[in-house]
A and B are shown apart, each in its own frame.
Chain A
Amino acid sequence: MAGNIATLTSANFDETVRSADTPVLVDFWAEWCGPCKAIAPVLNELATEQAGKLQIGKLNVDDHGDIAMRFNVMSIPTLIVFKNGEAVKRLVGAKGKGQLLQELAEFLPASR
């Protein structure tokens, strides 16, 4: 599944996040949220460029509100980084690719 974005659900969330051998970036989003749609292309690029180093999953808060509630998501988009199944960083609001990479730098192996 390298380079692809996983569709997370209430059913597969825990399994996916806990079994990952790389950090997992979870995107909490919804259809009616403009800024959520705006970052979708950025996340697609990240998924391809960071394949094997970072897994990206999307969770639709409309369909799976229980997971959103569990993590106290109050604003979307919210991006949460999971490492070894634990939530380690939270980013609220849409961001450009450059800023996102800066925020994720600590979780990615150093490249060039």
Chain B
Amino acid sequence: MTQHTKVLIIGSGPAGLTAAIYTARASLQPLVIEGEPSSTSDQPGGQLMLTTEVENFPGFPEGIMGPELMMRCREQAARFGAQFLTEKVNKIDFSARPFQAWVRDQHFTADSVIVSTGAQSLMLGLPEEQRLIGHGLSTCATCDGFFFRNQEIIVVGGGDSALEEAQFLTKFASKVSIIVRRDVLRASKIMQERAHANPKISFVWNSQVTKIIGDSSVTGVELRDTVTGATSTIAVTGVFVAIGHRPNTDLFKDVLDMEDSGYLITKSGSTYTNIPGVFACGDVQDHTYRQAITAAGSGCMAAIDCERWLEAQH
């Protein structure tokens, strides 16, 4: 049986949920296919589901927990009539209208589509990662930090995510070493100041992790100095990877125009993709800003672009 909707929104982070609020309020009865639970960042609610305090989203002077912010956005969208399906779209066909999407056997058609599938954590790309994820290797500090009480661990990365994770992990770990590829951090000044002021945090500059050591769980890592080429080994029981994200666009390969990095291409100043009636918003099409508030802003743009486009079809 096929379910038809005027607006199909794929993904439910700040972008998708803001698009849902606006299209719902425009009486377009959007259907949000929000994804499946996962311990990576590719899940309902998006990347903020894996953080703790969000201090830079406007409107919350005391800060707000990531999952709580997303829950409130979802409630807001539901209040105005957005429908949700907690499943993952595994196939699409945008070659003709109405646009089509599948969740296993379930078939959906839509007059318009808003793609807001976001991005997920990059891994280091080392062969031993598959084996060690969940056994000392993690991309979710809030899920796994608890298990490293009084242990020495590392965080790999130099941006706000890495520093935020490191800061959080000092609640449990005895020592957190931040492995940074260059000799500067990408992170915001305030996060850098906090990290430097934290006695449990130390920095290892100009270094890359070349191997994660351990059989049934992590016991250490091999590092390579990016300047001198010298290698060293340190004994740690936890490795948290926070080196960046890759957009979730595998589903749209050869259908939607995208850059080599996978980011969807939208017409400058709008959310239009190369297919009229398909719009993209949030991190899936943004490799410059990648903030919850910019994602939410572009979600609103997508809803308005979508609404006006639908109007113009009549």
Residues in A lying within 8 Å of B, measured CB to CB: 30, 32-39, 41-42, 61-62, 68, 72-78, 92-99
Contacts and interface: CB of A to CB of B under 8 A. Distances in A.
B57 interface: no
B261 to A, nearest CB: 25
Interface of B: 36-40, 43-45, 49-50, 52, 66-67, 86-88, 104, 133-136, 138, 140, 142-144, 146-147, 216-217
Contacts of A77: 39, 143
A34 B144 contact: no
A96 B36 contact: yes
Given A38-B44, A92-B135, A99-B36, 19 more contacts: A34-B67, A35-B49, A35-B140, A36-B143, A38-B45, A39-B37, A68-B147, A72-B217, A73-B147, A74-B144, A74-B147, A74-B217, A75-B135, A75-B138, A77-B143, A92-B133, A93-B40, A96-B86, A98-B104
Contacts of A68: 147
Majority SS of interface residues in chain B? loop
Contacts of A38: 37-38, 43-45, 49
A95 B39 CA distance: 8
A95 B49 CA distance: 14
A35 B50 contact: yes
A9 to B, nearest CB: 18
Given A42-B37, A96-B37, A76 B49 contact: no
Contacts of B133: 75, 92-93
Contact of A35 (B38, B52, B86, B216): B38
Given A34-B49, A38-B37, A73-B147, A92 B43 contact: no
Given A61-B146, A75-B147, A76-B144, A96 B217 contact: no
A93 B67 CA distance: 17
Contacts, number: 86
Contact of A34 (B36, B88, B134, B143): B143
Nearest to B40: A93
Contacts of B88: 96
A75 B44 contact: no
A50 to B, nearest CB: 18
Which 9 pairs from chain A and chain B are nearest by CB?
A96-B36, A92-B134, A93-B39, A38-B37, A75-B134, A94-B37, A34-B49, A75-B144, A35-B39
A32 B65 CA distance: 10
Contacts of A95: 36-38
Residue from A34, A36, A75 whose CB has the most chain B CB atoms within 10 Å: A34
A92 B143 CA distance: 11
Contacts of B147: 68, 73-75
A71 B264 CA distance: 43
Contacts of A37: 67
Nearest to A78: B134
